[in-house]
Each structure stands twice: as C-alpha cells, then as structure tokens.
Structure 1
Amino acid sequence: MPTPRPLVLALGLGLLALVSTADADAQRKKKAPAVSAQCTDFYAWANAEWLKANPLPADAGAISALGQLTDLALQQQRQLLDAAMKSPQTEVQNRLGDFWASGLDEAAIEADGSRPIAPLLSRIDAIKKAKDVPASIAALHQVGIPVVFNFAPDVDLKALDRHIGYFMQGGMGLPDPAFYTRNDADTQAVLARYRDYVKQILALTGTPKERLEADAKAVIDIETAIARKSQSLADLNNPFRNYVPVPVADAAKRYRNLQLAQFLEAQGVKDDLVSLPDPALFAELDAMIGRVKPEQWKAYLRWRVGDAMAPYLSRSFRDASFGFRGQVLAGQSAPAPRWQQVIEAINTAAGPMLGHEYANRYLTSEERRRATVVADEVRDALVAAVEGNTWLSAQAKAEAQAKLKALKIEVGTPRRDLDYTVQPMGRGSFGGNMLIASTWRHREEMKRIGKGNADRRWDVLPQQPALAYDIAQNRLIVTAAVLQPPVLDVDRPATAYGAYGALVGTQLSRAIDAKGAQVNARGELGNWWTPADTAAWNTLGERVAAQYAGQPYPGVKGGKVNGGQVRDVALSDQAGLQLAWDAYAKAQPEAKAADQQAFFGAWSKLWGQQVSENVAAERLAAEIHAPGPLRSNVPLSNLPAFGAAYGCKAGQPMQRAEADQVRVWR
C-alpha cells in the first residue's frame, strides 16, 4: 500500500457547523426597524431549503453540502466500475472491471483464504541467515508493503523541481511510537489488545499455536526497538526536520547490514541522493539485522504482510483487522458497506488508474474549459489586487506578481499521465489483484524520484473532490470530481464564480501569503517578504480573528469560536471571495441584480451543514475552519458589493461599517 509521504499537501475544502437563527422576539421588544432575513443571517436564508431537506440522520455525526459532493463522487465511481465490469471499452477499463468484480465476489474471496499472500510468506520462510533479511524487506516494499522503515518520493527542498527518496521511520503497527513506551493504564490496555490482534493475524498466516506467544513477543519487541529510536509525531510532520540529503554511496557504506544500495536497485531507483534524517534510528535498524534472530524477523515480516493485506482477504482476516483497527483505534461501530470497502481498496492500489477513467467519463470538455477560464480570471484579479496593494513592499509586490504569472493551473487530471502497463488481473483473486495493482502503483511512485519528475502526478486523486494549491510545484490543482454542483455549474455563470471562483481565490491567495512567501517564483526556498510585510499580514490576521473571536459556536452550548484557531483559513476565505467578485464584476459588468445575488448565494451554499453536539464540540476544540454560519457570513459582511446587492445598511448584521471591514490584498 502507498507509503505515507513526509510532506503533505494541504487541501482547501473545509466543513462547517449548525446554523443559528435570529431572535425575532427580542428585536420586536426593542422596536428596532425591521431588517430583512438576508441582512440578518444570510446563511440561514440562503440555506433554508437545504437545511430543511437534510435533517441530521440519527446515526450520523455530521452531513454537509460538500460531504454530499464526496458521496456523489463515490456513487459515480461505483457506476463507472459497474460499467467496466459489464462492458469494458479499453484495456484499463478491463483491468478495473476485473478488479471490481473480484472484490465483490465474497464467496471467491472466502475460498481464496490466505492464498494471495502465500508466495510472500514462502519467501519470508526461506530466510535462513541475517543477510537474507534485507532482501525480503526490499521485496515487500516492491509490492507496496513497507516494512521496518518507510521509503517514498518527495520534494528536494533545495531543488523543488525534483524529487528524491526519503528514508523515514515506519514499520510499526501502532500509529504513534508513544504507544510502545508509555506506561499509563489506557495505553497499556491498547497494547494488550494489540498483542491479541498480532496473535490473531499470525495464526491466520499459519503460525503454529505453540509459537504464537513467542512470535507475538518478537513482533512487539522489534516494533518497540524501532519506536524507541523514532521521532514524535510533531517532529515527523516538520518537513525541514526530515530533509537531510546524503549521497547514496555514503548511506550504503554507513548501514552495510541494511544493504540500502541493493534496496534502491530493487525499487528501480537510480538517483545518487536520498534524504535520511534519523541516523540513530537507521544505526539501530542496521544493528538489529544482526542482533535479532532470523526466526524473530520471520515472525515480524509475516505479521506485517498479514496486517497490511488483512482488509483484502477472507472474512477471518477482515474481522480481525476491523476488530482492532476499526473498533479499538478508530472507534467505528461497523465496517463500511462492501462496495465502499472495495472502492477504497481500488483507490489505495490503483487510484490514478480509476481517476483517469473517472475524468474521461464525468468531466466534460466544457467544464474543463470553463474551470480553466474562471481560474485564470481569478488569478488576473489577484495580480491586479497586488499591483494596487497598499501594504506590501515594492520588492514583495514584484515577486508576488512573478510567482502568480508562473503559477500553473491543472484542471481535471494531472498534466503528465502515468504508464498503465499492468499485468492482467482476472476475476479470480481480489487479494492477488491488490498485490498486482499495488506493485504497479509503487513502481510509478518510484519513477517520481529524479530530476524533472516532481510533477508526475498529484497528491490527491481526480475522483476525490478537492481544490488545492501545491506550494512545492507552484500549481493550482482542481480535481475532476470537484467540478460539479454545488462548486461548479457551467450553466449558471454567477454561481461558477461565487462558489468555484471563490474557492480558487482562497487557494491562489496561499501562493503569496505568509506561507507562500517561503518559496519564490523560481521555486527556491527563502522568505521574500520584508519584516514590514510580515507585520502588516499579522495585523490583518488579528483583525480577521477578532471578527470571529467570541462568537457563539453553533451546536455547543456556551461555546465560543477561537479566532486565533480559525484565522489562517478565514484570511484565505476573505481573500478568495473578494477576488472572485472582482473577477465576476470584470467578466460580467452588466450583470443583473438577480445574478449578483446568485453569486453570493453560491458562496453561502457551499457551507450548508448539520452537525451533532458531540461533533460540534470536537470541532470547537480542534477545527481550523470556522463553523458554517460564520464561514458564510463573516466574509460577506466585509464586502460592500454584498450590501449593495441585498440593500443591507452599514451596521446591520450582514454589513459592517466601512471602518470595520477587512480587505486582504487591497
């Protein structure tokens, strides 16, 4: 299965919370002038029909307009795979159809048992000496099962146009190294459940009953030794902490037991540079090759194969995996429907292949063209805003405009397609097909390593609704799945700008904000803002945070929004909405009042959502997106154009006094 990458692409589509309503009785008692619903709580007015039609189901923690878009994309994938199964038109469709059919055939999966992993287990069983272990480690990585450590391509931070291979910590079955070293009762209880799960999987892979205790202990001991030398999760998420380039020859010489040169050769990697940020960890791993007995390594490797493949094998494997990973770790009460599990598996192992077909089927040429045009117009609006900006220094303005002009916009699918040469899958073995597809995807991942290959693909799939700015490649990524209502409707220009255009603006703004300023137009790391620019940005952030701070958090009795927590996304929202309006006003200077109102309605309708009390409380504590009513209303209240469109007067809830309005790039 694909290895987690050390640098992660942050996506821009957030979800919101419950709507609040105006207290009309209180207004009557004060005998205040009547204020229209649009000027009082625009979110409640614009989303009234959606909120009425979408009550929160008893078994759901939250539903949202954007969540429904994700559900639609899943159903579209299901329809595509059904068609590929029944009447494939291309070789790729034929392979996907076979993959899908094999996953739905539960009787065949049950009869298949553990046969799909038998060749891997046989190779592991053939280990006789310590020097045999590294070759087995490399072979498992080749089929997409990372063991002992992780190895994945990512950006070379000194040359953002290329990727290098990152050797990173991994090889542990628990999500946090601290699980192996803490002594509190809760952690020890999880560790006890984990030990039971390890024994279940070992038994299913053929370990004799009399060896289960000893082999499970060997697994836990190996993982604990790795955990003791591993970084904390906070350090692991710091890309600069993880970038330590070293020549391959030096790494191979330093860690001879691990046979890293042979490992890279097995993965098809010919680059002469890798990142290896944890010499103490790899020194320990190198020592463990000789120190840990071959029989113990065999137990560990059998366990890693069984655990990785359990969701794709017979029911006894799946039940064991869900019992621990689903129920204990994730708190799930029941597994997803079978069809959804199979789609998730296909996306894991062959996601780009499915994405290629998804875009061909569900993205029209007009949607792609329109999305590109609107994105270009929003970019032009940002270039113009920067030119007239009053707080950026001259040097920052010049760099920002250069970066925006160099920015690439990729709509629907990645510009560079993949090699879809995959061995035939057939319909006989779902587990076998997972290994075939996972091997293919790992091969394609390894091809990203080397000069000029950094933009080979996206870090999100075309069939997943997403709109994101990729800071390393200075590109806007717009997936095929996001280009449908409520985000894009090609037949309604105003909504195309108010929803899609505004989301584009939120992401383009990130190219030149305080974080975007860490990379220049030439793709080089280094802050191009002056201290005065940074100070001005922080002042803007404080003003925006103050507009959200202390406002009631919908769904949480007595809860208040943490302005500082939502500040960064709120700044992007404010910028994006303004930029989209500027682009719309330029493209449609004669727009009728109804069309102008539709623009603002489209923005608000992105954030329709129903949330349970428990989920709302969780989001209040950790969510970086403001709750729905505020994410809709606060940016609108800063726009004079919104007040003009609906006749809202300054000082009314939906129109701030001019002195209180925040403008980001003006």
Structure 2
Amino acid sequence: MIQRTLVIALSAALALAPSIAGADPAKAKAKPKSKVAKTVAPQVCTDFYSTLNKDWLNANKAPEGAAVNSAMAVLQANSIQQQRQLLDAAMTAPQNQNQKLLGDFWASGLDEASIETDGSKSIAPLIQRVNSIKRAKDIPAAIAALHQVGIPVAFNFSADVDLNDLNRHIGYFSQGGLGLPDAAFYTRNDADTVALMSRYRDYVKNILTLTGSDAGKVANDVNLVMGIESSIAKFSKPAQATRDPRTAYAAMPIANLKNQYRNLQLAEFIAAQGVKDDMVSMVDPQYFAQLDALVKNTSTEQWKTYLRYQIGHAMAPYLSRSFRQAEGEFFGRVFRNETTAPPRWQQVLAAINLAAGPMLGREYVSRYVPSGAASRAESVAKDVVEALSRRIDSNTWMSAAAKQEAKSKLGKTTIEIGAPRRDLDYTIQPMGRGSFGGNMLIASTWRHAQEMKRIGKGNADRRWDVLPQDAALGYDMAHNRIIITAAILQAPVIDMTQPQAAQYGALGALIGHELTRGFDNRGRMVDAGGNLRDWWTPQDASGWNSKMTAIASQYSAHPYPELSGAKVNGALTREQDTADLAGLELAWDALAKGGAPDVANATAFFNGWGRLWPQAMSKEAAALQQATSSYSPGKWRTNGPLANMPEFATAFKCKAGTPMSLPAAQQVKIWR
C-alpha cells in the first residue's frame, strides 16, 4: 500500500509525571525555605531527573526486549486510544459524511466474520485485470493501474520536495518492486540469508496459492516470481545507499521518458497517475533502462504471475485469516519481531492511518484539540521565535553576514498548529461495511490521488509529511515552518492546568529545539529564499562546531543507564544534545522577556522540561539505543542541558561544581 514520503518532523510523544517536592510553586509556598533547602536541594542538585520523576520511575518498569517504556510513548498511546474512541463513535453515530466513511471503514475491519466471507473477493477485479494481459505492451498499463490503487509494483513513484525549487513538489521515480525490504537479500549467500530466503519462498508459495495458482503449478509459479524479483534486485542498489535524499534527486523533463522507456511507457504512466507537470526526478536511469528491457525480454506469463503475487502480498494484511496468517508468520515474525499478532483493533487502526490517515486526522483535530491549547501554543511559539531573533543579534559566534541572512530567514518562518492549513479534497466514493479489503482499496486509491496532486507548482506546502493524530513537533526545513500536531497539544507538552512557565519549559523548549535546526549546521544549507546553499562563513561553521564538540565531550562522560561501564555516545548524539540546550535557552529567554522569572516560575519551567523524558528500558534496549540512537537517554536529555544553565542552579540553589551546576568555565552556551 501507499508509503509515506520523507518524514521531516521530529516525533515526540510526551506524558505528565509528578513534580518534585518543594519544586512545585503551590507546594513551595506551603513550606519554609530552610526546610526545602535541607531536604530537597541535595537530591535535586545531584540528579534532577531521578528526583523529579521518582514516582513515574517506580511505577513504570522496563518492557521485555528492545522496546522502551517512556513518558513520551504514553502520549502517543493516548492518541491511539483517542483515535479508537473517535472511530467507535463514528461507527455508531456519525456526525458528518467524513465520519460516516470512517465509521464504515472501522466497522468493516472489526467484522472478522464478514472478512472471512469476503475472502479475496476485493482483489478479484485486480487479479482478473492482470490475468487478462495478452502481450508485453499490456504490462505497463497494468503496472500503472496497480500504482493508482496504492500498490506500487516494479518501481516506486512518489511526491516529494523538488531540491531545485523547494517551493514545489516533484514526482520521484525510484527503485522498488521487491517483496523484501532490501535487494541484498536476493544476492547474499550466507547461511542466515539462505535460510531467510527459503522461508520467503514458502511465503510466496502461500500467497500464490491463495491468489489462484494450482497445486501442481505453484512451485513453478514461485520460480517465476523469484526470477523477476531476483532480476530487479541485481540492478537495484542496497537500501543503505538510497537513504540520503540528496543522492536521490536528478531532474529530467517528462518529455524525455517517452522515447527512452518505450516498453515501460513511463510517460503514459505519469498521465495515468493524474500528474500534470513537466519534470520528474530519476536518479538512476540505468535501473529503469534494465527494467524496460525486463518487460520486453521476460515472458508475459511470468509478469502476470509476478503482478498477481504483488497484489496478494500488498493486500494480505487486509484479507481473510489465511492471508493474514501467511503475512504474519513471515513478515510479522522476521521483520516486526511479533510473537503474536497485535489485537485486531490495532491492526485496523494502523490500516486506516495508512490508507486514510488525513481523513482520520481531520476528525481528530476537531474533537481532541483542547480548548485554548492551539492559541496558547501559537503564543508560546511566537515568543520563542522572537527570542531567537534577539539571540541572533547578540550571539558572538555568528558573523554579521550570517546574522543578516538568519534574521531574514527567521522573518519568513511560519508556524502551523493542529493540522495543515491547506485541506484536501475529501470527495471519495462510499465505502459501506461489506468489505474491509475493498475499503482499503477505495481509501488507498484516494490517498494516492492526493499524493499525486502534491506534484507541481504551488503545492509544496499543501500537506504535512506527518499526520495530525501523530504526537509530533518538528521543523520542516524545506518550507521553513514549525509543525505542531494536534496530538502533541496535550499534557505535559501543553498542560493548561499548569503554570504558564511550565508550558514554556516543555512546549517552548521543544519548539526552540526544532527552530534551532533551521539555523544550525544543517539549516545553514537552506537560505532565506529557500535556496540550497551554504550561507555560513568558515568562521561561523567553526564557532558552531566548537560548541557541538564541547557538548559531545560532556555527554560522552555520562554513564548510560542500565549499561555497566558504557557511556553516552556523544559523537552520535551531539546534534540533538546541542539542540536541547539551545531550545531551553530560547524558551527561557521567551519566558523572561518581561523580566527575570521568580523562583516559583523558574522551578515550574524546569519541571516542565524534566517531565518530558522519564523512561525505562531493559539492558537489551539500552544497548541498542546506545549504539544507534541520535538522542541521549531521558536522564541526560533532562540533566545534561540543565547543568549548563546557571538559571537552573539559581532556581534550586545548587552550588557550582555539583552535578547539576557545572563550573562557569565548563558551561556551553549556544544562543546566550
């Protein structure tokens, strides 16, 4: 089914944790200052994270395996439950046509008896279309038709930012067409890969049997499918080599496609997708040249078998139990590490988000954005933007020319909260409750058409690459905008029951973190006009890099939770660690614009930050995070930046040299 394009928003799901004794403003008034200093300050100044989050850490244990239990995950889980409640209500009492569609979709997915009765009827017209292929020139039209319903075969085609003009989207042709996620599986011959490929062949056999292969012919049909996939794999690049978007872009006129790829009929493919543009991106013409030859030189019967398998493979999670079991036994166990299938409602919700996520998001925003939260978030965001403007003027590491460009870029930064400003066309055929598989095809056809509408001039900001119901807050570098989803507008990120200072410490610091990314060693590559160019001088780069180096040195000395003798990989986490400190500096400055906060507001601010990050993880999870994650563990996302802020030490009366108050000479300053 349809895959999302490059996600450029930072997903962060956050949840509320208890405040520390004596640090909450209301409690601070009830206790003598001397008692607070004697009983609280030593713990706070040694390990603020563990003191603040003591109750949460005692109540939440590490899950088994490589999963991480965190306050961030709680907010995302809350969003999932809200989506479930919304769909339940839409199923029984829809309030509008969009809810009627979603309610029917939801009901059809939960009705397993009807799904069993429906079997594979929903994909029968697609299979019939493939089976009706008579000659090689019929194959491209079948490929185009499957792309239209959200089943990409032979290759991928998606909408994404045009790197020559960030104000528009362009269609990207890229490699694809494989049942497995990496071409290397088809070419390696080590024992583990051989064993995996044997299991994959069994899966292909199951899907082919379920989609019409005779028992006496299915072994040969498996060979036909594997033959095409192996051929495609041989001229595909390893997955690792395709992950950098800068190497995945090469613009070319659509007019060139007609003569270069006669067998694939790519110009006709573009028209079939409803794209009205004159350019596409094709970074690997040789891949498509070889695919073009494969259409010509491979038998029609082999292509028909391959396409029939791809239909069954793409739709297997949404059909009867035999399809779902086949998919779960292989992909669920091997690639998703599932020992048992998730609850049915979770599977259906995931399917709806994949095929009709924006439809669900539209209803989520209207139902779950707390009253006043969006306006408060906008107010905080604007204050943080103003704080950055002041700090650009006063910082000492940025050159005059860079400051001028930065101010110009910041002046064009926009803030979008809740949902995208530009809505979609929700004209979609009725779904009904009779066929979940049929509804998946209806919804994914609509979603694909909406993706294709993004291509062309004036459509660059038409949608986000994250859904409103995803708990996310991020900086969209291509469009110079801060994105704050509806799902993130909940406690503790923005808790309307807490002092306003706490909202600056949580939401404000996260906004500052993301906003900084537009003006750091990555943001320097996009100027105020939206052009890809480096607007820093070598001295600017040196100044920034020296700060990241100092941060990396600090964090590399921090012990990694749950791992004996291991330290945080500061070289891996330094960009995010630097952004954390920068975000807190900006949020503090935004809070303090009317004057230095009093003790109650100062402690509320730092509590707001610390409540975002409690987490519990097993040794296995910690080892994986330590080796691969660009984020520090929660303890150091909390304590690390605060130890660099003299305002924290003042608020909690921490003496210089204590763990939470680094000596002034050792403190790193980003925007101060």
Q: TM-score range by the shorter chain?
A: over 0.9
SS in 2 for 1:209: coil
> How far apart, CA to CA, are the structure 1 residues paired with 2:13 and 2:585?
18
* Aligned pair partner of 1:266 in 264, 272, 280: 272
SS in 1 for 2:341: coil
User: Is the contact made by 2:9 and 2:473 (CA closer than 8 Å) also made in structure 1?
Assistant: no
Deviation at 1:590, TM superposition (A): 6.7
Deviations 1:438-465 (A, max 9, x none): 0000000000000010111100000000
What residue is the counterpart of 1:553 in the other structure? 560
What residue is the counterpart of 1:3 in the other structure? 3
1:597-636 equivalences under 5 Å are: 597-636=603-642
What residue is the counterpart of 1:27 in the other structure? none
Deviation at 1:35, TM superposition (A): 6.1
> How far apart, CA to CA, are the structure 1 residues paired with 2:460 and 2:626?
37
1:349-364 equivalences under 5 Å are: 349-364=355-370
Is 1:564 equivalent to 2:571 in the alignment? yes
Query: Are the structure 2 counterparts of residues 217 and 339 from structure 1 closer, same or farther at C-alpha, using a change threshold of 3 Å?
Result: same
What residue is the counterpart of 1:25 in the other structure? none
What residue is the counterpart of 2:203 in the other structure? 197
SS in 2 for 1:56: coil
SS in 1 for 2:464: coil
> How far apart, CA to CA, are the structure 1 residues paired with 2:603 and 2:249?
49
Deviation at 1:365, TM superposition (A): 4.7
What residue is the counterpart of 1:347 in the other structure? 353
Letter in 1 for 2:114: A
SS in 2 for 1:13: coil
> How far apart, CA to CA, are the structure 1 residues paired with 2:326 and 2:58?
41
Is 1:143 equivalent to 2:149 in the alignment? yes
Query: Are the structure 2 counterparts of residues 12 and 81 from structure 1 closer, same or farther at C-alpha, using a change threshold of 3 Å?
Result: closer
User: Is the contact made by 1:3 and 1:150 (CA closer than 8 Å) also made in structure 2?
Assistant: no
What residue is the counterpart of 1:443 in the other structure? 449
SS in 1 for 2:372: helix
User: Is the contact made by 1:133 and 1:289 (CA closer than 8 Å) also made in structure 2?
Assistant: yes
Deviations 1:542-598 (A, max 9, x none): 0000110132110112211111011010011010011111111125x3744222111
SS in 2 for 1:455: coil
Deviation at 1:373, TM superposition (A): 0.6
User: Is the contact made by 2:252 and 2:281 (CA closer than 8 Å) also made in structure 1?
Assistant: yes
What residue is the counterpart of 1:323 in the other structure? 329
Deviation at 1:331, TM superposition (A): 2.0
SS in 1 for 2:417: strand
Deviation at 1:136, TM superposition (A): 0.3
Deviations 1:190-216 (A, max 9, x none): 111111100000101111112211111
* Aligned pair partner of 1:581 in 588, 600, 612: 588
Deviation at 1:324, TM superposition (A): 0.7
SS in 2 for 1:36: helix
> How far apart, CA to CA, are the structure 2 residues paired with 1:391 and 1:60?
41
> How far apart, CA to CA, are the structure 2 residues paired with 1:58 and 1:474?
40
Deviation at 1:183, TM superposition (A): 1.0
* Aligned pair partner of 1:278 in 284, 292, 301: 284
* Aligned pair partner of 1:649 in 632, 642, 655: 655
Is 1:499 equivalent to 2:499 in the alignment? no
Letter in 1 for 2:590: A
Deviations 1:12-37 (A, max 9, x none): 53899xxxxxxxxxxxxxxxx99611
SS in 1 for 2:427: coil
Query: Are the structure 2 counterparts of residues 59 and 241 from structure 1 closer, same or farther at C-alpha, using a change threshold of 3 Å?
Result: closer
User: Is the contact made by 2:409 and 2:527 (CA closer than 8 Å) also made in structure 1?
Assistant: yes
> How far apart, CA to CA, are the structure 2 residues paired with 1:12 and 1:326?
24
Deviation at 1:249, TM superposition (A): 1.0
* Aligned pair partner of 2:496 in 485, 490, 503: 490
User: Is the contact made by 1:399 and 1:521 (CA closer than 8 Å) also made in structure 2?
Assistant: yes
SS in 1 for 2:661: coil
Deviations 1:363-386 (A, max 9, x none): 135111000110110011111101
**Comparing 35-44 and 519-528, the one that deviates more:** 35-44
* Percent identity of equivalent pairs: 56
What residue is the counterpart of 1:103 in the other structure? 109
1:337-416 equivalences under 5 Å are: 337-416=343-422
Deviation at 1:491, TM superposition (A): 3.0
User: Is the contact made by 1:84 and 1:93 (CA closer than 8 Å) also made in structure 2?
Assistant: yes
Is 1:294 equivalent to 2:300 in the alignment? yes
Is 1:157 equivalent to 2:156 in the alignment? no
SS in 2 for 1:409: strand
Query: Are the structure 2 counterparts of residues 57 and 272 from structure 1 closer, same or farther at C-alpha, using a change threshold of 3 Å?
Result: closer
Is 1:516 equivalent to 2:515 in the alignment? no
* Aligned pair partner of 1:76 in 82, 86, 92: 82
Q: What's the TM-score once normalised by structure 2's chain length?
A: 0.95
Query: Are the structure 2 counterparts of residues 76 and 60 from structure 1 closer, same or farther at C-alpha, using a change threshold of 3 Å?
Result: farther
SS in 2 for 1:210: coil
User: Is the contact made by 1:12 and 1:507 (CA closer than 8 Å) also made in structure 2?
Assistant: no
User: Is the contact made by 1:15 and 1:625 (CA closer than 8 Å) also made in structure 2?
Assistant: no
* Aligned pair partner of 1:254 in 237, 260, 263: 260
SS in 1 for 2:156: strand
Compute the RMSD of aligned alpha carbons.
1.6
Count residues in correspondence: 649
> How far apart, CA to CA, are the structure 1 residues paired with 2:59 and 2:633?
20
* Aligned pair partner of 1:452 in 451, 458, 461: 458
Deviation at 1:486, TM superposition (A): 1.8
Letter in 1 for 2:587: A
What residue is the counterpart of 2:25 in the other structure? none
Letter in 1 for 2:2: P
Letter in 2 for 1:466: A
**Comparing 620-629 and 456-465, the one that deviates more:** 620-629
Deviation at 1:60, TM superposition (A): 8.0
Deviation at 1:400, TM superposition (A): 0.8
What residue is the counterpart of 2:548 in the other structure? 541
SS in 2 for 1:635: helix
Letter in 2 for 1:160: L
Is 1:126 equivalent to 2:116 in the alignment? no
SS in 1 for 2:434: coil
Deviation at 1:59, TM superposition (A): 7.6
Deviation at 1:526, TM superposition (A): 0.4
Query: Are the structure 2 counterparts of residues 57 and 288 from structure 1 closer, same or farther at C-alpha, using a change threshold of 3 Å?
Result: closer
Deviations 1:474-501 (A, max 9, x none): 1111000001012111232122111111
User: Is the contact made by 1:162 and 1:454 (CA closer than 8 Å) also made in structure 2?
Assistant: yes
> How far apart, CA to CA, are the structure 1 residues paired with 2:536 and 2:48?
37
User: Is the contact made by 1:3 and 1:146 (CA closer than 8 Å) also made in structure 2?
Assistant: no
> How far apart, CA to CA, are the structure 1 residues paired with 2:64 and 2:445?
41
> How far apart, CA to CA, are the structure 2 residues paired with 1:56 and 1:562?
21
Q: What's the TM-score once normalised by structure 1's chain length?
A: 0.95
> How far apart, CA to CA, are the structure 2 residues paired with 1:174 and 1:34?
55
User: Is the contact made by 1:3 and 1:151 (CA closer than 8 Å) also made in structure 2?
Assistant: no
